[in-house]
Structure 1
Amino acid sequence: MGNQLEAENEGDLGRAIRDSDFPFIRSGGFSTVRIPIRFSGHASSSAPYTINASFMARVEHVVNTASAAGLNVIIDMHHYDEISEDPQGNRARFVAMWRQIAQRFQNAPSSVWFELLNEPKDQLNNTNLLEIYTETLAAIRETNVSRYVIMGGQRTSDITSLATLELPNDPYVIPTFHYYLPLEFTHQGADWISPTPPMGTTWGSDEDYARLNNHLRLATNYYTRTGRVPFVGEYGAVQQIPTSERATYYGAVSNAFASIGIQSCAWSYVNTFQLRDDSTGRWITEITDLIATTTTR
């Protein structure tokens, strides 16, 4: 549910979430929604780091509405860049926010999962993530003993982060990575990254498929090393790319990872990396018809 609840204010980066979205998503054949949420933009900056009650109620409403539509829900803490810039200085606030979230959703169905932090980067890396993750997980376990909790690695959870990613010893922890490779294709014309990749790059050559196959081996190596099956928390290609080329990418990436037992969440829904055309109210079926899933081994 990209560019919605992770905006500073819902609606700043595209249209807000509607209750009707979730039955529509379920009827489209999707089973899970990942909801990026900027909790840090609605929490006090000093102890006890209280999350705004109105915002928390909005999040709860969205989660309950998605659950009622028969969807699995991932509550994802998104855009907490401060902890990547100063991990120790923001550690207590991070733990406190998750303790509040966990308390609020302790009676939610088991189909609601938590994702600790979207795309760790900069000063937050695989050398210090485990310590922070372990402390935060302990706070969650005070009220949610067996809820699944998703954790990603360094460098914005790039697939290469799996090589050194260590996670807490907990059977309900799920590793994740994101896949937007190569950025020259997936983010062409995206003015929020610098330098902006120029338009005109295509995807689908033998070299592109060989690179994707090499990345499958990285995921398989991680599973062999740890016994944990990761999932692709985000993948996609920006909407100004021609639809046929986007479709090739979405289909190839989702099918490739499904072939080795890895499921995926496509970015996004109606904003930026559109899978639904709001002007028509319909799925962009050239893309969505090619998205594959699997049963996790």
Structure 2
Amino acid sequence: MGNTLEPETEGAWGGAPARKADFERIKAAGFDTVRIPVRWHNKSSDKPPYTVDAKWMARVQQIVDWALAEDLNVILNSHHFDPIHDDPLGVAAWHGGVWKQIAARFAGYPEDSLWFELENEPHKNFNHTNLLETLAPALKEVRALHPTRAVIIGGENWSGIKSLETLALPEDPNIHPTFHYYDPFTYTHQGAEWTAPDIPPVGRAFPTTQDAAQLARDVASIQTYMARTGKTPFMGEVGAFDRHIPLADRVKYHRMITDAFAPTGIGVCTWAYTNTFPFYDSAKGRWLPGMLGALGLKEQD
């Protein structure tokens, strides 16, 4: 559900507010899990007790309930908590205070179908030197009410696949690592203005011989990680920017990534549903041709 609950106004980034019908449609297409990214820092006070806007919390709960009602698994996260990436330890208490309220609101929800992801894509000053200390207040608040609920943690540098090599996790069997896969970045983000000043030029093709070799190495790195740690990572995002990449090429990209990682058995969430990097065309009321099939799902009429 990317770019839905992250803008200041819900759905403002290229889409529309979430509707109950979205989750009915997602379930009918064969998906079993939805990841719901939520921006919290602009809906909460930065002073104790860090109160979250009541209407916002209720809206998030409504959307989670819609998804669960369709028998979908839900990953609820904190996304774009911008101050934490500039001053991780200075903002940790605020971040933890927000998670205290999230944990309280979802107390009693089924553990097998609602997971928490503490913070999306650590970057800038938020890195492996301070990651666990920064997330400690949030994890403490979650564990106070949810001692065994699954919690997802991603690593530094936007949680790229290489972050797994040095990602340390707390000693907790119910904490799961995540990584995001937008590789090669020069292909998936070509012409993406938000990557300025180093915007990848438009026209990059995929796959080159080098791309195919790197993909094989990336798959091998996941297998190595699983053997080394005993943990199965989760690919929390994967996608290619639609503005400059033709649909047929996006289909080819997703099919290649899906097929390559399939032997690892890892779970995957694609970015995104219907806003940027879309799979569903809201204007035409249909799934984009070929995109479901690229994920191994049945194409919809």
Question: What TM-score range do you get, normalising by the shorter chain?
Answer: over 0.9
Q: Can you list the C-alpha shifts for 1:75-113, whole angstroms capped at 9, x where unaligned?
A: 010001211110111010011111110111011122011
Contact 2:92 2:137 in 1 (8 A): no
The answer for the alignment partner of 1:145 in structure 2 is 147
Amino acid at match of 1:249: Y
The answer for the alignment partner of 2:6 in structure 1 is 6
Indicate yes or no: 2:181 matched with 1:176. Answer: no
Q: Percent identity?
A: 45
Distance 1:164 1:225 in 2: 12
Distance 1:83 1:68 in 2: 33
Indicate yes or no: 2:24 matched with 1:23. Answer: yes
Shift of 1:260: 1.2
The answer for the alignment partner of 1:112 in structure 2 is 114
**Structure 1 unmatched runs, 5+:** none
Q: Can you list the C-alpha shifts for 1:210-251, whole angstroms capped at 9, x where unaligned?
A: 111111122222212211100100000011210111011111
Amino acid at match of 2:159: S
Asked which structure has the greater RCO (Cα within 8 Å, sep 6+), the reply is 2
Indicate yes or no: 2:290 matched with 1:286. Answer: yes
Secondary structure of 1:20's match?
helix
Calculate the aligned-residue CA RMSD, in Å.
Answer: 1.2
Contact 1:134 1:168 in 2 (8 A): no
Contact 2:34 2:74 in 1 (8 A): yes
Structure 2 counterparts to residues 15-54 of structure 1, below 5 A: 15-54=16-55
Distance 2:101 2:219 in 1: 37
Secondary structure of 2:128's match?
coil
Deviates more, 1:156-165 or 1:11-20: 11-20
Shift of 1:202: 1.1
- 1:256 pairs, out of 256, 260, 268, with 260
Amino acid at match of 2:96: V
**TM-score normalised to structure 1 length:** 0.96
The answer for the alignment partner of 2:213 in structure 1 is 210
- 1:197 pairs, out of 197, 200, 204, with 200
Shift of 1:131: 2.0
Contact 1:204 1:248 in 2 (8 A): no
Contact 1:133 1:168 in 2 (8 A): no
Contact 2:120 2:154 in 1 (8 A): yes
Shift of 1:11: 2.6
Distance 1:142 1:285 in 2: 45
Structure 2 counterparts to residues 262-281 of structure 1, below 5 A: 262-281=266-285
Contact 1:98 1:140 in 2 (8 A): yes
The answer for the alignment partner of 2:130 in structure 1 is 128
Amino acid at match of 2:284: T
Secondary structure of 1:67's match?
helix
Shift of 1:145: 1.5
Moved over 6 A (4+): none
The answer for the alignment partner of 2:57 in structure 1 is 56
Secondary structure of 1:220's match?
helix
Indicate yes or no: 2:227 matched with 1:237. Answer: no
Contact 2:95 2:137 in 1 (8 A): no
Secondary structure of 1:197's match?
coil
Distance 2:289 2:176 in 1: 30
Distance 1:209 1:98 in 2: 40
Indicate yes or no: 2:88 matched with 1:87. Answer: yes
Classify 1:138/1:162 alpha carbon distance in 2 versus 1 (closer, same or farther; 3 Å): same
Distance 1:50 1:226 in 2: 38
Amino acid at match of 1:7: P
Shift of 1:134: 3.5
Secondary structure of 1:90's match?
helix
